[in-house]
Amino acid sequence: MPVESTTPRSQETRARQNAVVELMRISPIADELATLFASAGHKLYLVGGSVRDAMLGRLGTDLDFTTDARPDAVLEIVRPWADAVWETGIAFGTIGAAKRGTTCEVTTFRADSYDGVSRNPEVRFGDSIVDDLVRRDFTVNAMAIDLSTKKLVDPHGGMDALAAKALDTPLRPEVSFADDPLRMMRAARFVSQLEFVPAPRVIQAMTDMADQIERITVERVQAELSKLICGGKPRLGIELLTHTGLADRVLPEVPAMRLEIDEHHQHKDVYQHSLTVLDQAIDLEDGEPDLILRLAALLHDIGKPDTRRHVPGGGVSFHHHEVVGAKMTRKRLRALKYSKEIIDDVSQLVYLHLRFHGYGKGEWTDSAVRRYVTDAGDLLERLHKLVRADCTTRNRRKAAALRRTYDHLEERIERLRAQEDLAKVRPDLDGNEIMKILGIPPGPLVGKAWTHLKELRLDRGPLSHEDAIAELHTWARDNGIE
């Protein structure tokens, strides 16, 4: 039985075959565009990440093209053909178009230079595909396919780099990163998404130039960080950011955990523990990458450095690190300009991740279980995953006991759910009933009465209508309302 070769040459051949298959799949769009551009006397190339992904057999419906045609000519060519056209990037030579569910971006050959202060290029259009490719971020993205001939243009060895999973720059990395420091974040993202291995000179340049990331807007940094975290191996990307010092600029709370010893004494440090929790949370995901769960897993212990205390006998404690960590998480995610929803959800998961450890061997009352579910709200399933991922002990017996205990908690939650609608825990009387029974107008007193009845509901479960009215009257008398 023949054995398939895995040499770089066979990998290159396979990559070329993948590219042909992918091009056949998108050929109606690409061929139509190529024909239109050729009729107008212009060349058109599939370029950059689209070529890389075609080689890897993972091309999506967002396609990047480059051409010698100037933006006005591109508009004239694509406008009658496309279902929709947008000009938001026209100042940088890019025209966007949509056709039958495929998004196309066509950019005029570029020969930009950068001002070295911001990442804004001084836009200059070029006349050569080779000159255009040399300004690309990495060699694996510096390939193009001439759509008129279906031939590969690869002046910087991108195919060889792709076969070797090597990440390097067409120019010296110091020049490339000075042009656009965001490329350093993108390097870490490709490590996470595609498991590329950065060249030593790339790592050195990232280390030497880490402070240059501050030239980039927070929004763009956040977008790259989110893509990294949602990659297939985010641990690798985080480790690269930490090793090069970029994390000190972007997510400083993460490398800060390297200094702290985990209280279980089963890991080298809290930093390594957090990366392990991230890995294990990913293993528990259902389908698509969950940014909120992954951020919570990575950040769940960032409060430990500020709460570390040495205790008699040589131990270490981190009391209330979940409270401190939730505040730190909120502050960091705000600084990165994440949405309010993401900030709230990740911070709440960090705050709640330690709650389960008070469960013991099942000593919680039904009231405590209700509060656990109510406090988690829509985050309950994510909280289940985070708590389970946070079990990283190498002691198999202890790990098995923790899993059984959490199984028991989940079983209790399901039993209570079957008896009560835990997802909609509300007082047994609503605001209108409270006002009618007590004879009070809308205002703060109604809210206080409502909160009191909700606490009773959590403690005791559903009350009968008569018992709820009796409890309301008792509360009113105790507070001088009746």
CATH number of 71's domain? 3.30.460.10
Enumerate residues 6+ apart whose C-beta is below 8 A from 296. 281, 345, 346, 349, 350, 353, 382, 386
Same domain, 437 and 405: no
Same domain, 437 and 419: no
Cβ atoms 213, 246 nearer than 8 A: yes
| Residue 173 to residue 357: CA distance in whole angstroms | 48
Query: 10 Å Cβ neighbour count for 422?
Result: 18
3-state helix, strand, coil in the chain (%, to 5): 60, 10, 30
What's the pTM value of the predicted model, to 2 decimals? 0.80
DSSP-derived letter for residue 60 is: -
User: What pLDDT is stored for residue 142 in this prediction?
Assistant: 96
Which of these three, 131, 164, 197, is where a domain ends? 164
| Residue 441 to residue 444: CA distance in whole angstroms | 9
**Residue 95 is assigned to a structural domain of this protein:** yes
User: What pLDDT is stored for residue 425 in this prediction?
Assistant: 58
User: What pLDDT is stored for residue 465 in this prediction?
Assistant: 83
Same domain, 148 and 21: yes
Same domain, 453 and 407: no
Long-range contacts of 152-155 (CB under 8 A, 24+ apart): 152/16, 152/19, 152/51, 153/45, 153/129, 155/130
Q: Report the domain count for the chain.
A: 3
Same domain, 355 and 452: no
Which of these three, 424, 442, 466, is where a domain ends? 424
Query: 10 Å Cβ neighbour count for 17?
Result: 12
User: What pLDDT is stored for residue 361 in this prediction?
Assistant: 66
Which of these three, 424, 449, 470, is where a domain ends? 424
User: Would you give the distance in Å from CA 181 to the centre of its chain?
Assistant: 20
Q: Which domain holds residue 130?
A: 8-164
| Residue 455 to residue 425: CA distance in whole angstroms | 10
3-class state of residue 475 by DSSP: helix
User: 95 φ, ψ to 5°?
Assistant: -115, 130
Same domain, 352 and 319: yes
Cβ atoms 353, 403 nearer than 8 A: no
**Residue 279 is assigned to a structural domain of this protein:** no
Same domain, 316 and 392: yes
Same domain, 389 and 451: no
User: What pLDDT is stored for residue 56 in this prediction?
Assistant: 86
**Residue 367 is assigned to a structural domain of this protein:** yes
The list of the chain residues with pLDDT below 70 reads 1-13, 15-17, 19-21, 23-24, 112-123, 259-268, 310-317, 319, 358-362, 419-428
User: What pLDDT is stored for residue 113 in this prediction?
Assistant: 56
Same domain, 152 and 47: yes
User: What pLDDT is stored for residue 60 in this prediction?
Assistant: 83
User: What pLDDT is stored for residue 446 in this prediction?
Assistant: 85
